[in-house]
Amino acid sequence: MFELRRNFLKAGASAALLSPLLGTGLLMPTRVLAAEWNRPAFTSRNVGDALKNYGSATATETRDIVINAPEIAENGAKVEVEVSCNVANTRSLAIFADKNPMPLCSAIEFSGPVLPYIREQIKLSETTRIRVVAKTGDGKSHVAFREIKVTLGGCGG
């Protein structure tokens, strides 16, 4: 009981001392936690522009990217996509939905030697082909495709 009270008081004192620094801008946690946002890629209105702005307009097709997604999605508002990538030295994975109003659904960056794997829920406006782009450390891009049929659109349709 006393240990809990002591920890609570310590945490409250720390918060009280740090709050003026946050208010003045001297302590900026967003610089540490947030990465740069690729605004042109995420706001592009067609898949060609999104790929160009993401830096993967000339991606080569590969079988080393495995996309696990439903063949038929009953509700486009919530489609679960699972991606694993066996391309060596992969630094990022991005999911594009060709017929969405804004095709770039997500972009995940990795650091160090990892086996890239993501599992996400995306929105699909209609039956479309999704593509997963893997960028490697040497600047090359690789792509894989998967067709998903949507019975009820998730982007307002």
CA-closest candidate to residue 87, choices 55, 68, 61, 106: 61
Residue ranges of alpha helices (H) inside 1-157 are 2-24, 29-33, 39-42, 47-54
CATH architecture for residues 36-150: Sandwich (2.60)
Per-residue pLDDT, 29: 54
What is residue 30's predicted lDDT score, i.e. its pLDDT?
A: 52
Comparing CA positions, the residue from 129, 127, 94 lying closest to residue 110 is: 94
Structural domain boundaries of the chain? Answer: 2-31, 36-150
> How many residues make up the chain in this entry?
157
pLDDT in tens for each of the 157 residues of the chain? 567 666 655 666 555 655 665 555 555 555 545 557 788 899 999 999 999 999 998 999 999 999 999 999 988 889 999 999 999 899 999 999 999 999 999 999 988 788 899 999 999 989 999 999 999 989 899 999 999 999 876 665 5
